[in-house]
Amino acid sequence: MLFAFLMKQQLDYDYVIIGSGFGGSVSALRLSEKGYKVLVIEKGKWYKSKDFPRTNWDLKKWLWLPTFRLFGILKLTLFRHVSILSGVGVGGGSLVYANTLPIPNSKFFTSGNWKGLADWENDLKPHYATAEKMLGATKNPKFYDADLVLEKVARKMGKENKFDAPNVAVYFGRPDKEVKDPYFNGDGPNRSGCTFCGQCMTGCPHNAKNTLDKNYLHLAQKNGVQIIAEKIVKVVKPIESENGKNGYEIFYENSTSLFRKDKKCIKTKGVIFSGGVLGTVRLLLDMKSKKYLPNLSNEVGNHIRTNNENLSLITSRNKNIDLSKGVAIGSIFPPDENGHVEAVRYGKGSGIWKIPILPMVYGKHVFIRLFKLLKELVLHPIDWLGMYFTKNYAKKTIILLFMQHLDSTIKLKRGWFNLNSKVSSGDKPTPFIPMAKTIADYVAKEINGKAFMMSTDILTGAPSTAHILGGAVIGKNKKEGVIDVNQKVFGYKNMYVCDGAAMSANPGVNPSLTITAMTEMAMSKIKDY
């Protein structure tokens, strides 16, 4: 007892949160409200409205690639079985996501690894309501060209009654008119109304997007939470115990410096992993391999899901169309019982995605797809090559995001130099989803356009996703999962996983609201200080 008391006196923090995305931000605020001393460590940079790139051609501010001195808000990671887009910076994925906040249908709550472990749909219902309020969820009030195109497609598919505007995390006041905090009785920052410029995913320049630094993190800082940016955690290990009952040592260093790493160590009672799948799973695998956290479940890195997504880009030949106007995702409908499709846009001037894409071709083998590409080049050279010289690419291009709740999983494991992927259960994830192609063909016909896909999808057969999930899933016990129903890590005291890595099924819709709600529920189970 005396030793435990002395150790507590020597601790720097009650909780250290690794990552400042949806899970980390919720954890920071709720733990601070319970009286705990909290530190948030984020590897990315602080970004304010004035700091964001004007277009995605500004790689220094848009792309995260530290080796090349690029410290932007978007990270692209390539694996054998999936290409992953993820957010980096204080506020995590909220800086770069499409601010879309749907609730999954009922099948999500009764499938996957967490199936039958709780009444998830009803248990999470009040926490979804809290998450919606905190994130300022409101229905997109205006449709623009891309949304109207998707509405016509829904009508042709007999789904017009299912077509809708999604809830989005955007302040719709008077365009560019600054007002006092409209959400938290004046405790939040001043805000400005949305201009529907379409720049949500390159970083909102108008202070209208409800990123986490404007709600959860802002309020957490007012409660005394400390946030340090441009730091990456390298080691988490228990202090003088096997299960962390005496707390943990956390070693971190600079993430944006090539030479001056400035390594530091802090001590904490508890740890919350919130670095997203790539950050959390990588760190957990490292700690297990190096025997700093040997009690971790062997399921770490397993049951990773891609949300069964397909991304297609359709470029129009029409001169009088502006597909860049609106919020990033302004419309949604379910074309079948298994999935949803959304109309996605970038703001005017953002045309970098025309570089890594190729005409949409399907085929079981890469040689079939290459043959079809050659055929496209011979028969339609102007349609293909002319796209690369299209002026105002974002104005002429609609991105379709198709998602399914159907299950297929991969596994990430440590390799010689990096993480490697392998198929773990079910069919391997694929970008070649028939329904996605059907919708793309409808849209192409509607706007007199041509459909394209990511070149990595075509050449490797691996899908691209902005919603990588799992890897530290909920299970009945250590043999079936990494965390329990309260998102507490099996085998360790005061250790939690609160981010996309904890999601244990494919939602088939954008997952940010669900990550937020799940973390709200997990934090509600922690006792006050």
Question: For the segment 292-331, what is each residue's pLDDT rounded down to a tens digit?
Answer: 999 999 999 999 999 999 999 999 999 899 999 999 999 9
Q: What is the 3-state secondary structure (H, E, C) of 170-190?
A: ECCCCECCEECCCCCCCCCCC
414 band by pLDDT with thresholds 50, 70 and 90: confident
Question: For the segment 190-222, what is each residue's pLDDT rounded down to a tens digit?
Answer: 999 999 999 999 999 999 999 999 999 999 999
Amino acid, res. 260? R
* DSSP 8-state secondary structure symbol assigned to residue 490: T
Question: For the segment 81-117, what is each residue's pLDDT rounded down to a tens digit?
Answer: 999 999 999 999 999 999 999 999 999 999 999 999 9
Q: How many domains does the chain have?
A: 1
Residue 1 lies in a domain: yes
Tell me which of 206, 218, 340, 467 is the catalytic residue.
467
Q: What is the pLDDT of residue 2?
A: 42
Residue 125 is inside which H or E element, if any? helix 120-135
Residue 9 lies in a domain: yes
Mean pLDDT of 34-53: 96
Residue 39 lies in a domain: yes
Residue 503 lies in a domain: yes
In sequence order, the β-bridge partners of residue 397 are 315
Residue 4 has pLDDT above 70, yes or no: no
DSSP 43-72: SS----GGGS-SSTT-HHHHBEEGGGTEE-
Q: Are 474 and 90 in contact (CB under 8 A)?
A: no
Residue with tokens 């009785």: 185
Residue 184 has pLDDT above 70, yes or no: yes
Q: Of 269, 273, 290, 268, which is closest to residue 233 (Cα–Cα)?
A: 273
| Nearby residues of 526 by Cβ (< 8 Å), 6 or more positions away | 30, 31, 34
Q: Of 6, 5, 14, which is closest to residue 272 (Cα–Cα)?
A: 14
Q: CA-based angle 302:481:468, to the nearest 5?
A: 45
Q: CA-based angle 330:508:305, to the nearest 5?
A: 130
Q: How far apart are CA 401 and CA 97, in angstroms?
A: 13
485 versus 176: the higher-pLDDT residue is 485
DSSP, collapsed to helix, strand or coil, labels residue 192 as strand
CATH number of the domain within which 502 lies: 3.50.50.60
How much is the mean pLDDT over the chain? 94
Residue 6 has pLDDT above 80, yes or no: no
Q: How far apart are CA 342 and CA 170, in angstroms?
A: 17
Rg (CA), the chain: 23
Question: For the segment 359-413, what is each residue's pLDDT rounded down to a tens digit?
Answer: 999 999 999 999 999 999 999 999 898 888 888 999 999 999 999 988 888 999 9
Residue 161 has pLDDT above 90, yes or no: yes
In sequence order, the β-bridge partners of residue 448 are none
Q: How far apart are CA 470 and CA 278, in angstroms?
A: 10
Mean pLDDT of 109-138: 97
Residue 339 lies in a domain: no
Burial state string for 354-374 with b = 16 or more CB within 10 A and e = fewer than 16: beebbbbbbeeeeeebeebbe
Active site residue 206: no
| Nearby residues of 506 by Cβ (< 8 Å), 6 or more positions away | 108, 111, 112, 305, 306, 307, 308, 403, 404, 405, 406, 407, 469
Q: What is the pLDDT of residue 273?
A: 98
Residue 285 has pLDDT above 70, yes or no: yes
Q: What is the pLDDT of residue 259?
A: 82
Domain hosting 3: range is 1-46+220-307+465-529
Burial state string for 436-455 with b = 16 or more CB within 10 A and e = fewer than 16: bbbbbebbbebbebbbbbbe
Answer positive or negative: Cα dihedral of 281, 285, 291, 296: positive
Mean pLDDT of 254-268: 91
Q: How far apart are CA 86 and CA 107, in angstroms?
A: 26
Q: How far apart are CA 435 and CA 112, in angstroms?
A: 22
In sequence order, the β-bridge partners of residue 401 are 311, 342
Q: What is the pLDDT of residue 3?
A: 45
Question: For the segment 450-487, what is each residue's pLDDT rounded down to a tens digit?
Answer: 999 999 999 999 999 999 999 999 999 999 999 999 99
Residue 225 lies in a domain: yes
User: The whole model's pTM is what?
Assistant: 0.96
Q: What is the pLDDT of residue 8?
A: 56
Q: How far apart are CA 188 and CA 217, in angstroms?
A: 10
Residue 260 lies in a domain: yes
Q: What is the pLDDT of residue 9?
A: 59
Q: How far apart are CA 131 and CA 129, in angstroms?
A: 5
DSSP 396-445: HEEEEEEEE----EEEEEE-SSSEEEEEEESSPP-S--HHHHHHHHHHHH
| Nearby residues of 427 by Cβ (< 8 Å), 6 or more positions away | 408
Residue 428 has pLDDT above 90, yes or no: no
Q: Of 339, 338, 333, 298, which is closest to residue 473 (Cα–Cα)?
A: 298
Q: What is the pLDDT of residue 226?
A: 98
Residue 362 lies in a domain: no
Cα 505 to chain center, whole Å? 15
